Amino acid sequence: MSCMSSTDRPLLNRRLAAFGTTIFAEMSALAVRTGAINLGQGFPDTDGPEEIREAAVRALRDGRGNQYPPGPGVPELRTAVAEHQRRWYGLSYDPDSEVLVTAGATEAIAAALLALLEPGDEVVALEPYYDSYAACIAMAGGTRVPVTLRPDAASGTYHLDVDELRAAVTDRTRLILLNTPHNPTGTVLTREELAAVAELACERDLIVVTDEVYEHLVFGAGHTPLATFPGMRERTVTISSAGKTFSFTGWKVGWVTAAPPLVAAVRSAKQFLTFVSSGPFQYAVAEALRLPDSYFEGLRADLLAKRDLLADGLRDAGFGVFRPSGTYFITTDIRPLGESDGFAFCRSLPERCGVVAIPNAVFYDHQDQGAPFVRFAFCKRQDVLLEAVTRLKGLAAE
Ligand code: PMP
Ligand code: GLN
């Protein structure tokens, strides 16, 4: 038996070896380096409400949250999360045993997967999927089983094929990992699609972890949490966060709502990841969650106008456009521009026209399925979007 020297052995373990640097970090760095307009990483270029910023400053000054907050989150925020779920969805959760505050949705996803999976368990997830899902499933020793959302150019939307979902579930499936509104496609799963997921989860006795960080960024009928479907409250781990809803992506305040045994399991993993985080911001987010309906309506109206500005601009620039029903993102098809490789397209775009975008292929296991699709974020100031559109129209003249 040969003994491998430490220099022969890669430093990064084999569970993470495939993951490299996130596409968001890569593309944001490219934008900074080239001075291009960054429509890649999804963060707003205008901060959230002044009064909520002031609430964070007040908490800091008053010494609320400057030392370790309680492990499950400050009671004010847990109560506000429970009130929010009741106010918007009629769901009732006990702030003490059914709400857990996390370091953004990112930690909630990681903790849920690390807590609920045994090595070898299968996780069914909708492809394309948010990049941290694959990495966290891998860190937990799980196996991901993608179910590909199908693009329909005629309707400009993506669909879940319920039969494919059904076929993906095996005796090794532990959980379904769902995301609606969906990044990167901007799809909001229909009631029928959600009902089918719920029925399948009950029939096969599966847990569902559902990432609903874009719950307030929906442009048609409102968001419906999976936990509202029959039989689902007891088997659903619902995840959300303040980043998108209140335009403070740097604060990293997220939360989990679920039945007590599920929250207890997720908390067991979470306590050894960050233990706690974002002390003063937790108080500010508690206030944010209680903002009047007019705040949420204003956010949606503002984003809807930006969606249409960018979607129309991309269409006029020659892209195939999937006009999203939710999120910050527009997925485009670059084939009408005579292109087919989203990676190459995105890497060349800053030089060609001074704009950065994200190749959807990074969100796929079946990379061929995602190759010609490219994601643009519209959570940017109107003048920035107008300038980006002007630049993108230059592509047609090349
Ligand atoms: N899930 C999805 C689908 C996302 O797009 C993001 C990025 N904002 C996250 C989770 C991470 O959320 P947070 O910034 O609250 O950690
Ligand atoms: N959720 C953001 C996006 O999809 C990025 C968050 C990150 O950089 N990890 O663009």
Domains of the chain by range and CATH? 14-41+294-397 (3.90.1150.10), 50-288 (3.40.640.10)
pLDDT reported for residue 6: 59
Check pocket membership of 330 for ligand 1, CB cut-off 6 A.
no
Determine contact, residues 191/370, Cβ cutoff 8 Å: no
Residue with tokens 């521009």: 337
The reported pTM is: 0.96
Check pocket membership of 105 for ligand 1, CB cut-off 6 A.
yes
Atom of ligand 2 nearest to the CA of 132: 9
Check pocket membership of 372 for ligand 1, CB cut-off 6 A.
no
pLDDT reported for residue 222: 87
Check pocket membership of 251 for ligand 1, CB cut-off 6 A.
no
A 10 A CB-CB count for 318 gives: 16
Check pocket membership of 241 for ligand 1, CB cut-off 6 A.
yes
Tell me which of 77, 100, 109, 130 to substitute to probe ligand 1's pocket, judged by most ligand atoms within 8 Å of the beta carbon. 130
Could you read off the pLDDT of 11-42 as tens digits, one per residue? 999 999 988 888 889 899 999 999 999 999 99
pLDDT reported for residue 1: 42
Check pocket membership of 176 for ligand 1, CB cut-off 6 A.
no
Tell me which of 27, 30, 39, 41 to substitute to probe ligand 2's pocket, judged by most ligand atoms within 8 Å of the beta carbon. 41
Check pocket membership of 213 for ligand 1, CB cut-off 6 A.
yes
Tell me which of 149, 177, 183, 277 to substitute to probe ligand 1's pocket, judged by most ligand atoms within 8 Å of the beta carbon. 183
Could you read off the pLDDT of 45-69 as tens digits, one per residue? 999 999 999 999 999 999 999 999 9
Distance CA 74, CA 6 (A): 44
pLDDT reported for residue 21: 84
Nearest to 198 by CA among 172, 224, 230: 230
Q: Whose CA is nearest to atom 9 of ligand 2?
A: 24
Residues with a CB atom less than 6 Å from ligand 2: 22, 24, 41-42, 183
- Kindly state the helix (H) or strand (E) to which residue 173 belongs, with its residue range: strand 173-179
DSSP per-residue codes, 195-216 = HHHHHHHHHTT-EEEEE-TTTT
Distance CA 329, CA 378 (A): 6
Q: What letter does residue 122 receive in the DSSP assignment?
A: E
pLDDT reported for residue 398: 77
Q: Whose CA is nearest to atom 8 of ligand 2?
A: 24
Residues of the chain short of pLDDT 50, as ranges, are 1-3
* Ligand 2 center–CA 389 separation, angstroms: 22
* Ligand 2 center–CA 184 separation, angstroms: 10
- Kindly state the helix (H) or strand (E) to which residue 241 belongs, with its residue range: strand 236-241
- Kindly state the helix (H) or strand (E) to which residue 320 belongs, with its residue range: strand 320-322
The ligand whose atoms approach the alpha carbon of 109 most closely is: 1
Determine contact, residues 372/340, Cβ cutoff 8 Å: yes
The ligand whose atoms approach the alpha carbon of 183 most closely is: 1
pLDDT reported for residue 2: 46
